[in-house]
């Protein structure tokens, strides 16, 4: 399994009711969610309720969720990632979205306003 969830963009919103994602022992997965949308549209609904991401022992995982065009994880409170040796980026951001962030946000950075608990351990490629 290369990707746990391959995004189906037939629907406008994805995972709009998901609050918790917890996974362990994904030995072959390289990503949890596939790459972002192919078109530019603000999306404040997809992943809007996601509060917790916890990943343990996913040794080939390279990224978790690509962020593009306003998928910002504004409700994310907890992020725990442990023993994911190939992880290179947690939330890769598409280049066009990076440019948008740089011009629209004063500090030029993504914000996680609800993040309270961050635990990253044994991530040798990060």
User: What are the φ and ψ backbone dihedral angles of 56, each rounded to 5 degrees?
Assistant: -135, 130
Average pLDDT over residues 62-70: 77
Q: What is the pLDDT of residues 9-35, one digit of tens each?
A: 555 667 889 999 999 999 999 988 876
- Look at strands 52-56 and 20-24 and give their pairing: parallel
Q: 3-state class of 48 per DSSP?
A: coil
Q: What is the pTM of this model?
A: 0.82
Q: What is the pLDDT of residues 29-53, one digit of tens each?
A: 998 887 655 455 566 777 889 999 9
The boundaries of the domain holding residue 47 are 1-8+15-126
- The total number of structural domains in the chain stands at 1
Q: Residue 85: what pLDDT? A: 95
Decide if 19 contacts 52 (C-beta within 8 A): yes
């Amino acid at each position: 399994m290369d990707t746990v969830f391959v995004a189906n963009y037939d629907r406008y919103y994805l995972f709009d009711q998901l609050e918790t994602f917890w996974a362990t022992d994904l030995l072959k997965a390289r990503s949890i969610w596939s790459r972002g949308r192919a078109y530019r549209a603000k999306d404040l609904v997809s992943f809007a309720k996601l509060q917790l991401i916890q990943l343990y022992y996913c040794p080939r995982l390279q990224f978790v969720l690509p962020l593009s065009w306003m998928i910002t994880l504004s409700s994310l409170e907890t992020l725990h990632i442990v023993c994911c040796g190939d992880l290179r980026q947690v939330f890769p951001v598409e280049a066009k979205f990076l440019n948008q962030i740089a011009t629209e946000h004063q500090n030029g950075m993504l914000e996680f306003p609800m993040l309270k608990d961050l635990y990253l351990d044994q991530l040798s490629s990060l």
